[in-house]
């Protein structure tokens, strides 16, 4: 079937400026970390990607590592790009990352020039595109001089293989240092990707969001639903097919009595607002102006519809935020 994008796709999701750059990102971005490899039906993956674009989610986040096996998520995205989204390439913000291990070779990990630039070339082949919009160093590599890593990222832009540069999982000091080096090279840091949710507040506690504001880069925050823990689905049991049942990245051990008690309290706060816990958790990360975009995953189009409806509720009040703190902080 031929795909035509929804005509009114830009009426739903607000777009937010990434730091002091010129680039807007949708308030929700879509990540292909889980269930976009060979472990899930391609027809469903395609349907989710196209539905996301129809909703106004222009930004799709990938990495060389995402699968299983590694690289499969980008290859699957590449199939959708070639078949369905090619006419809309100018409207897409595609990102990829390199640096987390994808094999035993010393050149398939880390922050060396060799690792980063060969991974990017391979990712462009996987995705079937000449350039990505954002190229990230996936995690800091203390064993490689930051100058080498930053130099490779700058080269990617100079070679026309990436339009913007991001870093991920860097602590604030190193992020600040990277931002300085990138600025000096004429390639300002666009964005930092960090984990942030009601259950993981490190970016606001360790000063990362402050650093983002001061250095003028955006923050795109991953796992805002704590991989699904900030929904009501695990309150009674671990449903079949859910990430905690299937994935090595979310252990069912995370779902203990303490988790259930805290989550049930948060669920009540959401219910009092007439919304779901997922919707509340997404509004919570987006309340911070430094946060450019909430980077979500989904295993169905229904989850996407449900989560985007978070945009329709009034902002969280100070009283509600205080209550969320009471139950959300460990």
Q: Give the binding site for ligand NDP (CB under 6 A).
A: 31-35, 61, 138, 168-169, 193, 222-228, 231, 233, 242-243, 278, 295-299, 303, 306-307
Q: How far is the CB of 186 from ligand NDP (least distance, A)?
A: 25
Our CB check for ligand NDP shows the closer of 76 and 168 to be: 168
- The SS3 assignment for 256 reads coil
Our CB check for ligand NDP shows the closer of 161 and 195 to be: 195
Cα 227 to Cα 242: distance, rounded to the nearest angstrom: 10
What are the backbone dihedrals phi and psi of residue 221, each rounded to the nearest 5 degrees, phi first?
A: -110, 130
Our CB check for ligand NDP shows the closer of 231 and 263 to be: 231
Q: How far is the CB of 39 from ligand NDP (least distance, A)?
A: 11
Our CB check for ligand NDP shows the closer of 219 and 298 to be: 298
Total Cβ atoms within 10 A of residue 325: 11
Rg (CA), the chain: 19
Q: How far is the CB of 191 from ligand NDP (least distance, A)?
A: 11
Our CB check for ligand NDP shows the closer of 232 and 265 to be: 232
Our CB check for ligand NDP shows the closer of 32 and 187 to be: 32
- The SS3 assignment for 75 reads helix
Checking DSSP bridges between strand 218-222 and strand 189-195, what pairing results, if any? Answer: parallel
- The SS3 assignment for 319 reads helix
Cα 314 to Cα 72: distance, rounded to the nearest angstrom: 39
Rounded to the nearest 5 degrees, what angle is found at the Cα of 189, between the Cα atoms of 183 and 195? Answer: 145
Q: How far is the CB of 296 from ligand NDP (least distance, A)?
A: 4
Our CB check for ligand NDP shows the closer of 19 and 297 to be: 297
Cα 13 to Cα 25: distance, rounded to the nearest angstrom: 10
Q: How far is the CB of 7 from ligand NDP (least distance, A)?
A: 26
Q: How far is the CB of 176 from ligand NDP (least distance, A)?
A: 18
Could you tell me if 24 and 14 are in contact, meaning their C-beta atoms sit under 8 angstroms apart? no
- The SS3 assignment for 85 reads helix
Chain residue at closest Cβ approach to ligand NDP:
31
Rounded to the nearest 5 degrees, what angle is found at the Cα of 152, between the Cα atoms of 209 and 166? Answer: 25
Q: How far is the CB of 82 from ligand NDP (least distance, A)?
A: 21
Our CB check for ligand NDP shows the closer of 34 and 74 to be: 34
Q: How far is the CB of 264 from ligand NDP (least distance, A)?
A: 15
CA torsion angle 104 79 228 68 (round to 10): -30
């Amino acid at each position: 079937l031929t795909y035509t994008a929804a005509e009114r796709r830009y009426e739903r999701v607000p777009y937010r400026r990434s730091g002091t750059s010129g680039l807007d990102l949708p308030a929700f971005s879509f990540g292909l970390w889980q269930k976009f490899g060979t472990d899930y039906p391609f027809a469903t993956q395609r349907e989710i990607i196209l539905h996301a674009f129809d909703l106004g989610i222009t930004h799709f986040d990938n990495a060389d590592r995402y699968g299983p096996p590694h690289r499969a998520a980008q290859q699957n995205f590449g199939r959708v790009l070639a078949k369905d989204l090619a006419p809309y390439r100018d409207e897409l913000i595609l990102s990829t990352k390199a640096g987390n291990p994808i094999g035993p070779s010393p050149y398939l990990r880390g922050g060396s020039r060799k690792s980063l630039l060969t991974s990017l070339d391979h990712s462009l082949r996987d995705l079937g595109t000449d350039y990505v919009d954002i190229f990230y160093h996936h995690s800091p590599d203390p064993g490689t001089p930051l100058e080498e890593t930053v130099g490779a990222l700058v080269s990617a832009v100079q070679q026309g293989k990436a339009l913007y540069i991001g870093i991920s999982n860097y602590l604030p000091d190193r992020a600040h240092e990277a931002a300085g080096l990138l600025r000096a090279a004429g390639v300002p840091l666009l964005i930092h990707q960090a984990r942030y949710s009601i259950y993981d507040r490190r970016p606001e506690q360790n000063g990362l969001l402050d650093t983002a504001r001061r250095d003028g880069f955006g923050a795109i925050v991953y796992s805002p639903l704590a991989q699904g823990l900030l929904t009501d689905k695990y309150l009674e049991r671990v449903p079949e097919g859910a990430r905690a049942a299937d994935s090595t990245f979310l252990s069912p051990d995370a779902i203990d009595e303490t988790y259930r008690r805290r989550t049930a309290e948060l669920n009540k706060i959401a219910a009092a607002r007439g919304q779901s816990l997922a919707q509340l958790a997404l509004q919570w990360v987006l309340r911070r102006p430094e946060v450019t975009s909430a980077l979500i995953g989904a295993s169905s189009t229904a989850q996407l519809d449900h989560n985007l409806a978070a945009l329709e509720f009034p902002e969280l009040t100070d009283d509600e935020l205080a209550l969320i703190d009471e139950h959300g902080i460990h």
